[in-house]
Amino acid sequence: MADPLLVAVPSNAPGGLDAAPSAHFGHCDAYTVARISDGKILDVTVEPNQGHEHGGCVVPVRALAGMGVKALIAGGMGMNPLNAMHQMGLSVYYATGFATVRDTLQAFIDGKLPEFGTNDLCRGGCGHHG
């Protein structure tokens, strides 16, 4: 059995598997954190977003890393949080267009999500902010 992996998905309220994924890492209502092992979601917790100010996305990165999260799936974020995640050992994957966090996590489990790249970054007025 593979070691469990903690994966976080920025989510709209109230969070959880049936919530809609949030379009932007730092502006989400909550982070749905799933423990995944052997292709299965073992359990889920919802962590509230502790707040965000422009350029302040490193605060939730530290919080997620402190919980043991090793991967994050997002549709948008800025360069600062992306760099912070890489420095703290988190892998980041890009996903948009999924109806639920459950669907997003299943795409991750199935290996269908690309790594988050510089073309996926928000640059101030990007359409990811909401």
Please indicate, yes or no, if residue 31 is contained in any of the structural domains. yes
Regions of the chain with pLDDT less than 50: 125-130
Burial group, residue 99, by CB count within 10 angstroms (0-12, 13-18, 19+): exposed
- Cβ burial of 42 (10 Å; 0-12, 13-18, 19+) is exposed
Q: What's the DSSP call for residue 30?
A: E
Task: Note the pLDDT of residue 124.
Answer: 55
Q: Is residue 128 part of a domain?
A: no
In the prediction, which pLDDT does 125 show?
Answer: 47
Does residue 47 sit within a domain? yes
β-strand pairing of 30-37 with 91-94: unpaired
Query: Per the structure, how many domains does the chain have?
Result: 1
> In this predicted structure, what is the pLDDT of residue 129?
38
Per-residue model confidence (pLDDT) at position 55: 52
For residue 50, the model assigns a pLDDT of: 78
What's the confidence (pLDDT) of residue 37?
A: 97
Domain membership of residue 28 as a residue range:
5-119
